[in-house]
A and B are shown apart, each in its own frame.
Chain A
Amino acid sequence: MKAQQVSDLAWRGLIFLVSGFMALPLLLVVLFSFNQSALTSLPLTGLTLDWYRRLFAKDAFWPALENSLIVGFAAALLAIVTGTLAALALSRFQPRQAGILINILSIPMMMPALIIGVSLMSYFVRFLDVPLGLWTVVLGHVVIAQPFVVLILYARLAHFDWSAVDSARDLGASPLQAFFTVTLPIIQPTIVGAGLIALSISLDDFVIAFFTIGAGNTLPTLVWGLVRTSLDPTINAIATLLLALSIGSTILALRLSRYRG
Chain B
Amino acid sequence: MGRKQLPLVPAGLIYAGVFVAPLLFFFVISFWSVKSRILRPDFTFKNYVATWAQYWDSMANTMAVALMIAAVTTLLAFGFAYAVRFKAGKLEGPLLFLALITLFGGYLVKIYAWKSILGRDGILNQALVELGLVDQPVDALLYNTNAVIITLTYFLLPFAILPIYGNLRAINPATIEAARDLGAKRWAVMRDVILPQCEKGIVIAFTLAFLISAGDYVTPRFVGGGAAMMGHFIELQFSLGFNWPQGSAMSFSAMLLSLAIVLALRAAFKRSLRP
By a beta-carbon cutoff of 8 Å, the part of chain A in contact with chain B is 8, 11-12, 14-15, 18-19, 21-23, 25-26, 28-29, 32, 39-42, 78, 81-83, 85-86, 88-90, 92-93, 101, 105, 107-116, 118-124, 126-127, 139-140, 142-143, 146, 150, 197, 200-201, 203-207, 211, 220, 223-224, 227, 235, 239, 242-243, 246-247, 250-251, 254, 260-261
- CB of A246 within 8 A of CB of B18, answer no
In chain B, what residue has the closest Cβ to A88?
B7
Known: A25-B117, A110-B208, A142-B14. A41 touches B122 (CB 8 A): yes
Determine the distance from Cα of A39 to Cα of B218 in the docked complex, in whole angstroms.
23
On chain A, the residues within 8 Å of B115 by CB distance are 227
B234 close to chain A: CB less than 8 A: yes
Q: In the complex, are the beta carbons of B104 and A204 less than 8 A apart?
A: yes
Q: Determine the chain B residues whose CB is within 8 A of the CB of A82 once the complex forms.
A: 10-11, 13-14
The answer on a CB contact under 8 Å between A115 and B251 is yes
Known: A21-B154, A239-B112. 10 other contacts (CB 8 A): A14-B80, A41-B121, A110-B208, A114-B216, A122-B22, A122-B244, A126-B25, A126-B244, A150-B11, A239-B113
By the criterion CB–CB under 8 Å, are A239 and B114 in contact?
no
Q: What chain A residues lie within 8 Å of B212 (beta carbons)?
A: 110, 112
- Majority SS at the chain A contact face: helix
Say yes or no: B123 contacts A26, CB within 8 Å.
no
- Using Cβ atoms and an 8 Å threshold, which residues of chain B touch A247? 101, 104-105
B215, CB-defined interface residue at 8 Å: yes
Within 186-203 of B, Cβ neighbours of A (below 8 Å) are at: none
Number of B positions contacting A (CB below 8 A): 84
Contact pattern, B 214-247, Cβ under 8 Å of A = 1, otherwise 0: 1111100010000000010011001000001001
Given contacts A29-B109, A108-B19, A206-B108, contact A251 B101 (CB under 8 A): yes
Q: Is the CB of B101 within 8 A of A85?
A: no
B104 neighbours in A (Cβ, 8 Å): 197, 200-201, 203-204, 246-247, 250
| 6 pairs from A and B in contact (CB 8 Å cutoff) | A41-B122, A115-B23, A143-B19, A204-B106, A246-B104, A261-B169
Q: A9–B53 Cα gap in the complex (Å)? A: 52
**Segment 1-24 of B: residues with Cβ below 8 Å from A:** 4-15, 18-19, 21-23
Most chain B CB within a 10 A radius of its CB, from A29, A114, A146: A114
Q: Mark B18-41, 1 if CB is under 8 A from A, else 0.
A: 110111011001000000000100
Contacts of B143-170 to chain A: CB distance below 8 A? 154, 157-158, 162-163, 165-166, 169
Cβ–Cβ < 8 Å partners of B9 in chain A: 85
List, in ascending order, chain A residues with CB within 8 A of B80's CB: 14-15, 18-19
Q: Is B58 an interface position by the 8 A CB rule?
A: no
Contact A261 B163, CB 8 Å, known A29-B109, A85-B11, A123-B26: yes
Q: What's the Cα separation between A88 and B126 when bound, in Å? A: 54
Cβ contact within 8 Å between A142 and B117: no
The reply to whether A22 and B217 form a contact with Cβ atoms under 8 Å apart is: no
Closest beta carbon of chain B to A191's beta carbon, Å: 14
Residues A223 and B108 in contact in the complex (CB < 8 Å), given A22-B102, A112-B214: yes
B164-188 Cβ-contact flags toward A at 8 Å (1 or 0): 0110010000000000000000000
- Listed from nearest, the 6 A-B pairs whose CB atoms lie closest are A112-B215, A119-B26, A123-B22, A86-B11, A85-B7, A261-B166
Contacts of A139 on B, CB cut-off 8 Å?
Answer: 14, 18
* Complex partner residue of A89 from B6, B13, B95, B113, CB under 8 angstroms: B6
Please state if A22 and B157 are interface contacts (CB–CB under 8 Å): yes
Q: Which of A22, A40, A142, A227 contacts B98 (CB 8 A)?
A: A22
